Amino acid sequence: MNMNFSLPGRIAGLIAVTVLLSACGFTLPGSGPAPLTYDLSPKSTFDGDLPEIKQQLVVEEPSSARGIDTDRITLRPSPIEIKYFAGSRWVDRAPRMVQILLVESYENTGRILAVGRQSIGLRPDYSVKSELREFQAEYFDAGGKPSIHVRLNVKLIKMPEARIIASATFDQIDPATGTEITAIVQSFDETLGKVLRKSVEWSLREVAKQTANQNRE
Protein backbone atom coordinates (compact mmCIF):
# COMPACT_ATOMS: atom_id res chain seq x y z
CA MET A 1 0.00 0.00 0.00
CA ASN A 2 1.35 3.47 -0.84
CA MET A 3 1.50 5.56 2.38
CA ASN A 4 3.08 8.70 0.87
CA PHE A 5 1.11 11.89 1.38
CA SER A 6 1.64 15.18 -0.45
CA LEU A 7 2.75 18.30 1.46
CA PRO A 8 -0.60 20.07 0.88
CA GLY A 9 -2.34 17.01 2.29
CA ARG A 10 -0.23 17.09 5.43
CA ILE A 11 -0.85 20.81 5.97
CA ALA A 12 -4.58 20.27 5.54
CA GLY A 13 -4.44 17.45 8.09
CA LEU A 14 -2.61 19.65 10.64
CA ILE A 15 -5.15 22.43 10.20
CA ALA A 16 -7.98 19.96 10.74
CA VAL A 17 -6.36 18.68 13.96
CA THR A 18 -5.83 22.25 15.20
CA VAL A 19 -9.47 23.15 14.61
CA LEU A 20 -10.62 19.96 16.31
CA LEU A 21 -8.47 20.57 19.41
CA SER A 22 -9.63 24.17 19.65
CA ALA A 23 -13.25 23.09 19.42
CA CYS A 24 -12.69 20.58 22.22
CA GLY A 25 -11.24 23.23 24.52
CA PHE A 26 -7.60 22.15 24.33
CA THR A 27 -4.79 24.75 24.48
CA LEU A 28 -1.93 24.17 22.09
CA PRO A 29 1.66 24.59 23.42
CA GLY A 30 2.86 28.15 22.93
CA SER A 31 -0.64 29.53 22.46
CA GLY A 32 -2.44 32.00 24.69
CA PRO A 33 -1.82 35.70 25.35
CA ALA A 34 1.76 36.93 25.72
CA PRO A 35 2.75 38.15 29.20
CA LEU A 36 2.49 41.89 29.80
CA THR A 37 5.94 43.51 29.95
CA TYR A 38 6.69 46.45 32.23
CA ASP A 39 9.63 48.85 32.47
CA LEU A 40 10.55 51.34 35.19
CA SER A 41 11.99 54.85 34.84
CA PRO A 42 15.27 56.42 35.96
CA LYS A 43 15.31 59.27 38.45
CA SER A 44 15.52 62.71 36.87
CA THR A 45 15.16 65.16 39.80
CA PHE A 46 17.92 65.67 42.38
CA ASP A 47 19.10 68.11 45.02
CA GLY A 48 20.31 71.32 43.44
CA ASP A 49 23.47 71.41 45.57
CA LEU A 50 24.96 68.15 44.29
CA PRO A 51 28.72 68.45 43.70
CA GLU A 52 30.13 68.25 40.19
CA ILE A 53 32.30 65.15 39.76
CA LYS A 54 35.30 65.12 37.39
CA GLN A 55 35.87 61.37 37.75
CA GLN A 56 34.61 58.42 35.71
CA LEU A 57 32.22 55.97 37.33
CA VAL A 58 31.30 52.39 36.43
CA VAL A 59 28.06 50.83 37.71
CA GLU A 60 28.23 47.07 38.11
CA GLU A 61 25.15 44.87 37.88
CA PRO A 62 23.74 44.39 41.39
CA SER A 63 24.00 40.95 42.90
CA SER A 64 20.80 39.46 44.30
CA ALA A 65 19.22 36.31 45.67
CA ARG A 66 17.93 33.85 43.10
CA GLY A 67 14.30 34.67 43.88
CA ILE A 68 14.86 38.28 42.75
CA ASP A 69 17.30 37.57 39.92
CA THR A 70 14.52 37.10 37.36
CA ASP A 71 12.34 39.09 35.00
CA ARG A 72 9.25 37.91 36.90
CA ILE A 73 7.56 40.43 39.21
CA THR A 74 8.06 39.15 42.74
CA LEU A 75 5.49 39.11 45.52
CA ARG A 76 5.69 37.84 49.08
CA PRO A 77 2.49 36.63 50.73
CA SER A 78 4.52 36.12 53.93
CA PRO A 79 8.13 36.76 55.03
CA ILE A 80 9.08 33.17 54.15
CA GLU A 81 7.27 32.75 50.81
CA ILE A 82 8.15 33.95 47.32
CA LYS A 83 5.66 33.98 44.46
CA TYR A 84 5.29 35.83 41.16
CA PHE A 85 2.53 37.75 39.43
CA ALA A 86 1.02 35.66 36.65
CA GLY A 87 1.09 36.98 33.11
CA SER A 88 3.44 39.88 33.88
CA ARG A 89 7.17 40.43 33.41
CA TRP A 90 9.80 43.10 33.83
CA VAL A 91 11.49 44.19 30.62
CA ASP A 92 14.70 42.53 31.88
CA ARG A 93 16.00 40.67 34.92
CA ALA A 94 15.48 42.89 37.95
CA PRO A 95 19.22 43.39 38.79
CA ARG A 96 20.09 44.30 35.21
CA MET A 97 17.09 46.64 34.98
CA VAL A 98 18.20 48.40 38.18
CA GLN A 99 21.76 48.70 36.84
CA ILE A 100 20.54 50.42 33.67
CA LEU A 101 18.28 52.76 35.66
CA LEU A 102 21.16 53.66 37.99
CA VAL A 103 23.37 54.59 35.03
CA GLU A 104 20.63 56.73 33.51
CA SER A 105 19.95 58.37 36.89
CA TYR A 106 23.63 59.33 37.24
CA GLU A 107 23.55 60.78 33.73
CA ASN A 108 20.41 62.74 34.55
CA THR A 109 22.17 64.61 37.36
CA GLY A 110 24.40 66.39 34.84
CA ARG A 111 27.07 66.41 37.55
CA ILE A 112 29.42 63.61 36.50
CA LEU A 113 32.15 63.45 33.85
CA ALA A 114 31.35 59.95 32.60
CA VAL A 115 29.34 56.97 33.80
CA GLY A 116 28.55 53.62 32.25
CA ARG A 117 27.98 49.94 32.76
CA GLN A 118 30.88 47.62 33.40
CA SER A 119 30.45 45.96 30.01
CA ILE A 120 31.40 49.06 27.97
CA GLY A 121 35.06 48.87 29.00
CA LEU A 122 35.28 52.26 30.71
CA ARG A 123 38.42 52.80 32.80
CA PRO A 124 36.82 54.07 35.98
CA ASP A 125 38.12 56.10 38.88
CA TYR A 126 35.35 54.56 41.01
CA SER A 127 33.10 51.53 40.75
CA VAL A 128 29.64 51.21 42.25
CA LYS A 129 29.03 47.68 43.50
CA SER A 130 25.60 46.92 44.94
CA GLU A 131 23.32 44.19 46.20
CA LEU A 132 19.58 44.21 45.52
CA ARG A 133 18.30 42.68 48.75
CA GLU A 134 14.58 43.41 48.47
CA PHE A 135 12.52 44.02 45.34
CA GLN A 136 8.97 42.80 45.81
CA ALA A 137 5.36 43.55 46.62
CA GLU A 138 4.59 42.39 50.16
CA TYR A 139 1.15 41.16 51.21
CA PHE A 140 1.89 40.73 54.91
CA ASP A 141 -1.29 42.60 55.90
CA ALA A 142 -4.07 40.15 55.06
CA GLY A 143 -6.85 41.76 53.07
CA GLY A 144 -5.04 45.06 52.58
CA LYS A 145 -3.11 46.63 49.73
CA PRO A 146 0.44 45.39 49.21
CA SER A 147 3.51 47.39 50.14
CA ILE A 148 6.41 47.81 47.74
CA HIS A 149 9.77 47.03 49.32
CA VAL A 150 13.10 47.99 47.71
CA ARG A 151 16.41 47.68 49.54
CA LEU A 152 19.76 48.34 47.89
CA ASN A 153 23.15 48.09 49.57
CA VAL A 154 25.72 50.23 47.75
CA LYS A 155 29.51 50.14 48.03
CA LEU A 156 31.76 52.76 46.46
CA ILE A 157 35.04 51.22 45.29
CA LYS A 158 38.19 53.29 44.60
CA MET A 159 39.94 52.07 41.48
CA PRO A 160 42.40 50.68 40.55
CA GLU A 161 43.11 49.75 44.17
CA ALA A 162 39.68 48.05 44.44
CA ARG A 163 39.34 49.58 47.91
CA ILE A 164 35.94 50.16 49.53
CA ILE A 165 35.78 53.78 50.65
CA ALA A 166 32.11 53.96 51.65
CA SER A 167 29.05 51.76 52.06
CA ALA A 168 25.38 52.48 52.72
CA THR A 169 22.00 50.73 52.56
CA PHE A 170 18.91 52.42 51.18
CA ASP A 171 15.66 50.81 52.29
CA GLN A 172 12.24 52.04 51.18
CA ILE A 173 8.79 50.58 51.89
CA ASP A 174 5.72 52.33 50.49
CA PRO A 175 2.07 51.26 50.28
CA ALA A 176 0.94 50.46 46.75
CA THR A 177 -1.70 52.75 45.29
CA GLY A 178 -3.91 49.82 44.30
CA THR A 179 -4.15 46.07 43.83
CA GLU A 180 -4.18 45.92 40.02
CA ILE A 181 -0.88 45.09 38.34
CA THR A 182 -0.64 48.52 36.69
CA ALA A 183 -0.99 50.25 40.08
CA ILE A 184 1.56 47.90 41.60
CA VAL A 185 4.08 48.59 38.82
CA GLN A 186 3.55 52.34 39.16
CA SER A 187 4.20 51.97 42.89
CA PHE A 188 7.39 50.01 42.14
CA ASP A 189 8.46 52.93 39.96
CA GLU A 190 7.91 55.47 42.73
CA THR A 191 9.57 53.39 45.46
CA LEU A 192 12.59 52.44 43.35
CA GLY A 193 12.89 56.08 42.28
CA LYS A 194 13.42 57.14 45.89
CA VAL A 195 16.14 54.51 46.33
CA LEU A 196 17.82 55.54 43.07
CA ARG A 197 17.86 59.18 44.10
CA LYS A 198 19.32 58.47 47.53
CA SER A 199 21.95 56.12 46.10
CA VAL A 200 23.08 58.54 43.40
CA GLU A 201 23.20 61.60 45.66
CA TRP A 202 25.05 59.71 48.40
CA SER A 203 27.69 58.30 46.05
CA LEU A 204 28.39 61.61 44.30
CA ARG A 205 28.86 63.33 47.64
CA GLU A 206 31.17 60.54 48.80
CA VAL A 207 33.32 60.91 45.67
CA ALA A 208 33.48 64.67 46.21
CA LYS A 209 34.47 64.13 49.84
CA GLN A 210 37.19 61.67 48.82
CA THR A 211 38.54 64.11 46.23
CA ALA A 212 38.61 66.95 48.75
CA ASN A 213 40.53 64.79 51.23
CA GLN A 214 43.09 63.86 48.58
CA ASN A 215 43.59 67.52 47.63
CA ARG A 216 44.33 68.40 51.27
CA GLU A 217 47.00 65.73 51.60
Where exactly are the structural domains of the chain? 35-216
Report whether 57 contacts 125 (CB < 8 A): yes
pLDDT at 69 over 70: yes
Residue 120 confidence (pLDDT) = 67
Angle at 192 between CA 187 and CA 193, to 5 degrees: 95
- 3-state SS, one letter per residue, for 85-139: EEEEEECCCHHHHHHHHHHHHHHHHCCEEEEEEHHHCCCCCEEEEEEEEEEEEEC
Mean pLDDT, range 132-150, rounded to an integer: 91
In this prediction, residue 75 has a pLDDT band, given cuts at 50, 70 and 90, of: very high
144 phi and psi angles, rounded to 5 deg: -100, 180
Measured distance CA(129)–CA(121) in Å, rounded: 16
- pTM of this structure: 0.83
Q: Please name the CATH architecture into which domain 35-216 falls.
A: 3-Layer(aba) Sandwich (3.40)
Give pLDDT tens digits for 19-61. Answer: 444 444 444 445 567 889 999 999 999 999 999 999 999 999 9
Residue 204 confidence (pLDDT) = 97
With a pLDDT cut of 70, the percent of the chain lying above it is 82
Q: Can you list the pairs that 73-80 forms with residues at least 24 positions away whose Cβ atoms lie under 8 Å?
A: 73/38, 73/137, 73/181, 73/184, 73/185, 73/188, 74/135, 74/136, 74/137, 75/136, 75/137, 75/138, 75/139, 75/146, 76/136, 76/137, 76/138, 76/139, 76/140, 77/139, 78/139, 78/140, 79/140
